[in-house]
Every structure is written in structure tokens, then in C-alpha cells.
Amino acid sequence: MGAKLENGVVISNDQIAKDIYSMFIKAPNIANSVEMPGQFINLYPKEKHTILPRPISICEVDSKEETIRVVYQVVGDGTGQFAKLKREDEIQVSGPIGNGFDISGDHREHLLVGGGVGVPPLLELSKRLKGNVTVVLGFRDEPYLIEDFEKYGAKVYVATESGKHGSKGNVLDILKQEDIKIDMAYSCGPKPMLKALNSWCQEKDIPVQVSLEERMACGIGVCVGCVCKKKDSGNKDGWSYKKTCTDGPVFMGSDVIWDE
């Protein structure tokens, strides 16, 4: 199903942590087209000098209410404009875009690992998985969405760099300390975290799906600004470029060439 362009209507837009906002957008065509957790939408800032859309992961989708929830951090001009939106404001949205997490297997013990703004797409994933879900989340300081994961029945561990919340350290420290049963791991967050998790999973022979949040320009597969290197046995070099926006953002960790 292709991405749809729609004038969404803001239902709510609330600050939930320092610089972090949770926005619900009524966008019936897109909400009814989301196929996989881990897909994202392109949100268009209103002011003309910010021409390019901003890719933001789908945090939750409610097809009955025809809403999409996004949770975003204000880091610059585009996200700063989103934070000013009020109930009933319009926002142009396109999506759903990309290949999300594959949940078609019969795995029962799921590990979800998120870091910073990589945490939001794991919420819709935790809702859809069948079996036991353990979530390990890393934040710089203030955690968010913890109660949302618990509401859907996940066991949640939190690590913060500051140590003010959860345990001091990072997500790998928790994985090394705790004895968590895992058939399949899923992750989204900063690349160093994904790379370290991938190595840990390879050592333990656990398959891991990773969502890469590369910098994007067009976000729809046209500009080739978001490529990553993926192993490719059909190519004479043993690898080929893939577009993170439309071939990903989710890939098997074992297929990604991490050292580039």
C-alpha cells in the first residue's frame, strides 16, 4: 500500500517530559493503512522556509478513532513548529512509509530495546506482539512512555545516563545483569547502541531487527540521501546500498554493515 498525503487534524499535543511532546493526529487514510509497527510518517512544518518534511515514527495507531500518535523531541526548527500546534490545527502528513518490524514469526519471548527518540515506535510493536514482552529503555535523564508500555503488559527496565531514574548506565548494562529469555530482539535508537546490541545478540545467537534512523531529506525514496550498506550475496562486492526510508527503516541486524 503506497503512502498517502493527508491534512491531519491535531487532537492533542502535550508535553510529557523535557522537550518531549506527545501528539495525536486524526488522519483516517493513514491510520487505516498502517501495516507494521516501526513504519513512520512525514510531518510537514507550516512555515515556508522549512520545505522538507520531518520523518517521525508512528508511536501508536488507533484505526477505530482513526488517529496516529507521535512522540517527538524538539531539536530544531521543524519540531519546534510542531510543538506550537494546538487542538484542531491542521498539519500535512504523508505515510505510512517504510518497512517496519516483522512480527509474522511464532516467537514467544520478545525483547524490545529503545534509546531516546527510538523508544516511541516500540510502543505500537509491544501492543501487537503475542507472548512475553520485555522492554529495556535507555534515556539521558528523564524517562517517558514507561506507564504506556506497562499498560500493554510489558515488563520494563529503565537505564539513565544520569542515574536519577532507573539504574545508572545503558541498556547493555541491564541486558548483561538480567537473565531475560529472548527468542527475537527488536531495537530502535542511536546507531552506537544498535551496533553494540547487534554484537551482543550475535554472541548469543539471538536474531535482532534494528530500525535505523538515518538523516533523511525527501523521505520517500527519491533523493538517495539516506542510504546504508547492507550485505548482498547477489552483488560481486558482497554488499549493496539500501534506502533507509523505503527499504527500511527496519533491517535484520546481521544484514547491516556496521563499520562504515
Ligand X SMILES: Cc1cc2nc3c(=O)[nH]c(=O)nc-3n(C[C@H](O)[C@H](O)[C@H](O)COP(=O)(O)OP(=O)(O)OC[C@H]3O[C@@H](n4cnc5c(N)ncnc54)[C@H](O)[C@@H]3O)c2cc1C
* Residues binding ligand FES (CB under 6 A): 216-219, 221-226, 243, 245
Which of the stretches 26-34, 55-63, 87-95, 177-185 binds ligand X when contact is defined by CB under 6 A? 55-63
Which partner in ligand X, ligand FES, none is near 76 (CB below 5 to 8 A by kind)?
ligand X
Which of the stretches 54-62, 153-161, 179-187, 230-238 binds ligand X when contact is defined by CB under 6 A? 54-62
Residue with cell 516501526: 38
Closest distance of CB 224 from ligand FES, Å: 5
Among 19, 47, 65, 77, binds ligand X (CB under 6 A): 77
Closest distance of CB 242 from ligand FES, Å: 10
Which partner in ligand FES, ligand X, none is near 257 (CB below 5 to 8 A by kind)?
none
Which partner in ligand X, ligand FES, none is near 224 (CB below 5 to 8 A by kind)?
ligand FES
Give the strand order in the sheet containing 40-44.
54-57, 40-44, 90-97, 4-17, 20-26, 67-73, 60-62
Which of the stretches 53-61, 148-156, 193-201, 233-241 binds ligand X when contact is defined by CB under 6 A? 53-61
- Nearest to ligand X of 72, 200 (CB atom): 72
Which partner in ligand X, ligand FES, none is near 215 (CB below 5 to 8 A by kind)?
ligand X
Which partner in ligand X, ligand FES, none is near 221 (CB below 5 to 8 A by kind)?
ligand FES
Which partner in ligand X, ligand FES, none is near 73 (CB below 5 to 8 A by kind)?
ligand X
Among 32, 47, 63, 76, binds ligand X (CB under 6 A): 76
CB atoms within 10 A of CB 62: 12
Q: How many residues bind ligand X (CB under 6 A)?
A: 22
- Nearest to ligand X of 89, 178 (CB atom): 89
246 and 220 Cβ atoms separated by less than 8 Å: yes
Closest distance of CB 94 from ligand X, Å: 13
